[in-house]
Structure formats: structure tokens, C-alpha cells
């Protein structure tokens, strides 16, 4: 089986925006309020951060449970990991996710600034420079035959799309508009020259967009 690079459960507003400008420690999504972006996922039985039993097991749950299936590594941009810019400050920051990050694989954080790797529970964060293709090669090796997830944020997803390295994308469009911020696309049609697309409305109100290479 081919080792795919997969974007999974990537959430945007109906005007294509995944996050706002002006990210801070307190506001990982900057000037936009992300809560409603992820409501659909938090309601499912397989949501990785779920702490109580219950949750739905319908269509949306199929997507939250597919998040980890056959994934052996994640790649993320520095701004998904944290709000710092430039050389790493000695602030003890170890990501937004606490002592039990939901990735449970090696994670490759793209940065121009060196920093030692560290491990939290089942997740090890590595900090790597280089072009998308070079980072992908490292992640593929770490994934030991499994697929690699491209975790975001939006700038990183666009960078890998521009380099034509993405095999499948699952983008969830939530029924809200942000007006301004970091935009994935003007329209999903932007990708149709390279990808098949299926558009699947969910009873929860979000619309799943499933892309795979032509």
C-alpha cells in the first residue's frame, strides 16, 4: 500500500477561514472564536479529547474515528504548536495539549529555529527545518509504513498543496462565517484540477469535503 499524506478533520468556516490573525497563548485561533468550528467533532463518541462516555456514532463519528486510523506520524506548522515566533524563548511551552497530546505518534514541527525533541506520553515532538518534501521524507520514515497526517495550520496545508504533496484532504465546512483571517481557499473548486471531490452534508449541519488525487 502507498504511504499517503492525509489532511484529516481540518475545519474551516463557510468563507474558507481556519484561524484568525494575531495568535496569542490565550487565543490559539487569534481573532476568531473557534468553538463552533469543532462542535460537530466534540459531539461524537470517538472525539480524542472526550472524557465522558456517550457521544454520537453517526456520520461525523466516522470522521473523528478515522483521524488516527493507520497514521504513523504527524507534520504540523510551528503556529499549530504554539504562538511563539523567532528563536524559541525559554518559557517551558510544550504545545497546547497538556500532558497527553492526542497525536500518539512522532510529530514533526516545522521551524527555522532549532530545539531539542521531547516526549509527552505517547507523543514525541521533533523540531525540523527544510522544505516540505524533506520534512515529509523524515515523517514517512518515522511512520514505519503507515500514513502521515498533515495537521495544519492553514499556512502549512497550503504550502504542502502548493508542493503537490497531499494525497487526500478531509475538510469540514462549518455553517458560520468569520469575514477575515487565514484562508484555506476561495472555493473548494480551486482544487478540482488535481483532486476528485465529494461533498457530503452531515445531519449535524457541517459539510464534509473529501478530496483525493486524480
- Interacting residues toward a copy of itself by CB under 8 A: 2, 45, 53, 56-59, 62-63, 65-66, 69, 168, 196, 198, 200, 202-203, 208, 210, 212
| Residues 47 and 193: beta-carbon distance below 8 Å | no
At 177, list the grid cell: 462565517
Q: What is the rounded distance in angstroms from the CA atom of residue 61 to the CA atom of residue 191?
A: 26
Nearer to a copy of itself, 178 or 211 (CB): 211
Nearer to a copy of itself, 6 or 78 (CB): 6
Nearer to a copy of itself, 44 or 79 (CB): 44
Output the smallest distance, CB 171 to a copy of itself, in A: 13
Q: What is the rounded distance in angstroms from the CA atom of residue 199 to the CA atom of residue 50?
A: 27
Output the smallest distance, CB 30 to a copy of itself, in A: 31
Q: What is the rounded distance in angstroms from the CA atom of residue 155 to the CA atom of residue 93?
A: 21
Output the smallest distance, CB 26 to a copy of itself, in A: 33
Nearer to a copy of itself, 137 or 200 (CB): 200
Helix, strand, coil percentages in the chain from 3-state DSSP, rounded to 5? 20, 30, 50
The sign of the dihedral angle between the CA atoms of 12, 36, 9, 142 is: positive
Output the smallest distance, CB 178 to a copy of itself, in A: 27
Amino acid at each position: 500500500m502507498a504511504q499517503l499524506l492525509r489532511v484529516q478533520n481540518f475545519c474551516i468556516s463557510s468563507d474558507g477561514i481556519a484561524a484568525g490573525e494575531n495568535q496569542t497563548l490565550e487565543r490559539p485561533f487569534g481573532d476568531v472564536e473557534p468553538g463552533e468550528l469543532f462542535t460537530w467533532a466534540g459531539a461524537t463518541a470517538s472525539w480524542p479529547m472526550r472524557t465522558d462516555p456517550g457521544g454520537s456514532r453517526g456520520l461525523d463519528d466516522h470522521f473523528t474515528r478515522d483521524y488516527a486510523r493507520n497514521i504513523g506520524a504527524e507534520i504540523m506548522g510551528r503556529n499549530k504548536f504554539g504562538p511563539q515566533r523567532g528563536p524559541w524563548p525559554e518559557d517551558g511551552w510544550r504545545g497546547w495539549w497538556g500532558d497527553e497530546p492526542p497525536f500518539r505518534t512522532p510529530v514533526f514541527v516545522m521551524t527555522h529555529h532549532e530545539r531539542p525533541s521531547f516526549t509527552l506520553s505517547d507523543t514525541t515532538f521533533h523540531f525540523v527545518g527544510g522544505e516540505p518534501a524533506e520534512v515529509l521524507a523524515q515523517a514517512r520514515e518515522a511512520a514505519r509504513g503507515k500514513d502521515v497526517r498533515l495537521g495544519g495550520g492553514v499556512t502549512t496545508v497550503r504550502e504542502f498543496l502548493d508542493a503537490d504533496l497531499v494525497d487526500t484532504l478531509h475538510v469540514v465546512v462549518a455553517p458560520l462565517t468569520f469575514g477575515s483571517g487565514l484562508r484555506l481557499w476561495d472555493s473548494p473548486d480551486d482544487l478540482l484540477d488535481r483532486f476528485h471531490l465529494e461533498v457530503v452534508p452531515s445531519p449535524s449541519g457541517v459539510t464534509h469535503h473529501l478530496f483525493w488525487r486524480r
